[in-house]
């Protein structure tokens, strides 16, 4: 099994509604998103997929978060979903999974990790 990892960053603010502490107040992070894709075979160039293809698809999703108030984005605040690292990783996974599958047959999105600080992150993956 081959695995490829790319990272991206965005800056955004959020509020954790109902949280019993400081995170219930407006605050922001420079978020890091780490995406892993996997597959069993390499292409004729010896690559699972081109890094730039994964980065392009990830950027299309992450750009909608950059310099935004996450609670205002569809799928979060009005839907009653707190924009936690866990929920953001799930959202990005759902948005990216099909895009990755369309890049090359046999390549799948393995997991998405979202870091809200250099030492705290959440990961979403679907076990197959």
Quote the DSSP letter at residue 98: H
> What are the tokens at 47?
């690559």
Give the torsion sign (CA, 31, 32, 37, 43): positive
Q: 108-117 and 27-39 as β-strands: parallel, antiparallel, unpaired?
A: antiparallel
Distance CA 73, CA 108 (A): 26
Query: Of the listed 34, 40, 86, 116, which one is catalytic?
Result: 116
Q: Radius of gyration of the chain from Cα atoms?
A: 16
Count Cβ atoms below 10 Å from residue 44 Cβ, excluding itself. Answer: 5
User: What per-residue confidence (pLDDT) applies to 78?
Assistant: 82
User: What per-residue confidence (pLDDT) applies to 80?
Assistant: 87
Distance CA 90, CA 61 (A): 12
| pLDDT one-digit tens code per residue, 55-85 | 999 999 999 999 999 999 998 988 889 999 9
Query: Of the listed 3, 17, 44, 67, which one is catalytic?
Result: 67
- E runs forming strands in the chain: 2-14, 27-39, 68-69, 108-117, 120-125
Query: Of the listed 23, 34, 86, 111, which one is catalytic?
Result: 23
CATH number assigned to the domain comprising residue 80? 3.30.479.10
User: What per-residue confidence (pLDDT) applies to 128?
Assistant: 61
Distance CA 42, CA 120 (A): 33
Distance CA 65, CA 67 (A): 6
Is 86 marked active-site? no
Quote the DSSP letter at residue 80: T
Q: How much of the chain, in percent, has pLDDT values that exceed 70?
A: 99
Number of domains composing the chain: 1
- Domain containing 78 equals 2-125
Task: Say if residue 46's pLDDT is above 80.
Answer: yes
Is 17 marked active-site? no
């Amino acid at each position: 099994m081959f695995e490829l990892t790319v990272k991206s960053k965005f800056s955004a603010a959020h509020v954790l509604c109902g949280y019993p502490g400081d995170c219930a107040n407006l605050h922001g992070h420079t978020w890091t998103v780490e995406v892993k894709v996997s597959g069993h075979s390499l292409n004729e160039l010896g690559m699972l997929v081109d890094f730039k293809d994964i980065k392009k698809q990830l950027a299309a999703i992450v750009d909608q978060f950059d310099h935004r108030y996450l609670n205002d984005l569809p799928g979060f605040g009005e839907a009653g979903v707190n924009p936690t690292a866990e929920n953001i990783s799930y959202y990005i996974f759902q948005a990216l999974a099909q895009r990755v599958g369309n890049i090359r047959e046999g390549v799948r999105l393995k997991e998405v990790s979202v870091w809200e600080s250099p030492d705290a992150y959440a990961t979403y993956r679907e076990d197959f």
